[in-house]
Amino acid sequence: MADYLFAPHNPVTVPIARGGLFAVRRVYCVGRNYAEHIVEMGNDTRDPPFFFAKPADAVVAGGAAIPYPPRTADFQHEIELVVAIGKEGADIAVADALEHVYGYAVGLDMTRRDLQAVAKKAGRPWEMAKAFDFSAPIGSIEPVSAICHPAKGTITLKVNGEVRQSGDLGDQIWSVAEAIAHLSQFVTLQAGDLIMTGTPAGVAPVARGDVLEGAIEGVGSVRTMIV
């Protein structure tokens, strides 16, 4: 037994739909990947993708409720396709990128939009807007062996049964393969990394008591409640 000052934290895991656990190493997010959402946020659709990250322990697996976070009055949902990396790689070619994918899940990139607006305006980091506790609810991971690589299919988010976000994976500006290739130019990807691939239009605030149900055709679902 190593001489740890305190017991190391348990690994963060996401259930695999067909059994087993996916241990999370890092969570990367694509900043802008659907034209309608880029327009609703007042940005330029011709910009290349950019990335930010959340800590692994921001992940909330398996439909658990999440608390309304402190220091915000504008807590918003972003429904996203999540890529689960299963194989190490750096400088990955687009043509080889999908070989690095273990599976896919449906996730929520929960955002303190008011803090993000302040950070953008001041040229400050986004962590306190994006990388806070309980900010990444994620459903179970479906392996590629079961669902292949979804390139099309509806992506929707309902809040209290009403559709708030609706799009299609086919409308992603940067495909999963392109996002992996681009990100791997900056960092070495490892098994256990998750990539949240951006959200379609319709982002909006939530309140305590709201039930969020996201789904992607051919991939799965995610559910959480704000408490």
Residues at the interface with Mn ion (CB under 5 A): 78, 109, 199
Chain residue whose CB lies nearest Mn ion:
109
User: Which residues 6+ apart lie within 8 Å of 213 measured at CB?
Assistant: 157, 158, 159, 161, 221, 222, 223
Q: How far is the CB of 77 from Mn ion (least distance, A)?
A: 10
Which CB sits closer to Mn ion, 172 or 199?
A: 199
Give the separation between CA 73 and CA 119, rounded to whole angstroms. Answer: 15
User: Nearest approach, Cβ of 66 to Mn ion (angstroms)?
Assistant: 16
If you ran DSSP here, which 8-state letter would residue 158 be given? E
In the complex, minimum distance from the CB of residue 68 to Mn ion, in angstroms, rounded to a whole number: 19
Smaller CB separation from Mn ion, 78 or 193: 78
Residues 12 and 57: beta-carbon distance below 8 Å: yes
As measured in angstroms, the least distance from the Cβ of 5 to Mn ion is 35
Compute how many other C-beta atoms are within 10 angstroms of the C-beta atom of residue 28. 21
Contacts of 128 (CB under 8 A, 6+ apart): 71, 112, 115, 119
Based on CB atoms, which residue is closest to Mn ion, 109 or 193? 109
- Whichever of 116 and 184 has its CB closer to Mn ion, that residue is 116
